[in-house]
């Protein structure tokens, strides 16, 4: 369990860096979806299934969808 937590923490740290470094919003929508999934796996490793479920649904599905819709609306 410790190895899983260590790996998940490192993936989340790299994922946060990748989300910030993706300057184009369309690319960032995909990266933030993967970051939400990585956070969900980290929460599972910390024995928190409720929080993981919430984060996967919101951070990996609802948030990138709304971001994509906002991008499509603001593209001229």
Partner 1 sequence: MSVLPYVVAVWICLVGLYGIVTSRHLLHTIICVSVVQSSTYVLLLAVGYRQGGVAPVFVDIPHTTPAVDPVVQALTLTDVVVGGAVTALLLAIAVQIEKHLHTLDPDELDPLRD
Partner 2 sequence: MDEQPPRRPGELSFAARRRLFLVGAAGLGALLLWGLFELPDYRDVVPLYGQVINHSAVEERSSTAVVSAVNFDYRGFDTLGEEFILFAAVLVLALLLRRLSEERRDRHEWKARHEHTTSAAVRLTCAALVGPTVLLAVYITAHGHLTPGGGFQGGVIAATALLLVYLGSDYPTMQRLRPLPLVETAKAAGALAFVLLGLAGLIFAGAFLENFLPLGTPGDLVAAGTIPLLSVAVGLEVAGGFVLLLSEFLDQLLVIRRKQEADS
Footprint on this chain of partner 1 (rule: CB under 8 A): 2, 5-6, 9-10, 12-13, 16-17, 19-20, 22-23, 25, 28, 32, 35, 39, 42-43, 46-51, 54-55, 58-59, 62-63, 66-67, 70-71, 73-74, 76
CB of 57 to partner 2, least distance (A): 5
Task: Look at phi and psi of residue 14 and say left if phi exceeds 0, alpha if psi is from -120 to 50, else beta.
Answer: alpha
CB of 35 to partner 1, least distance (A): 8
Site string for partner 2, 16-55 (x = CB under 8 A): -------x-------------------------xx--xx-
Distance CA 6, CA 54 (A): 22
**Both structure tokens of 74:** 């603001």
Q: What are phi and psi of 75, to 5 degrees?
A: -75, 135
Sequence-distant (≥ 6) Cβ neighbours of residue 1 within 8 angstroms: 45
Question: Does 76 participate in binding partner 2 (rule CB under 8 A)?
Answer: no
């Amino acid at each position: 369990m410790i190895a899983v937590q260590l790996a998940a923490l490192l993936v989340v740290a790299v994922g946060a860096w990748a989300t910030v470094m993706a300057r184009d919003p369309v690319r960032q929508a995909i990266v933030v979806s993967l970051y939400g999934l990585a956070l969900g796996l980290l929460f599972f490793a910390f024995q928190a299934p409720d929080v993981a479920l919430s984060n996967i649904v919101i951070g990996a599905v609802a948030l990138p969808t709304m971001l994509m819709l906002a991008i499509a609306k603001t593209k001229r």
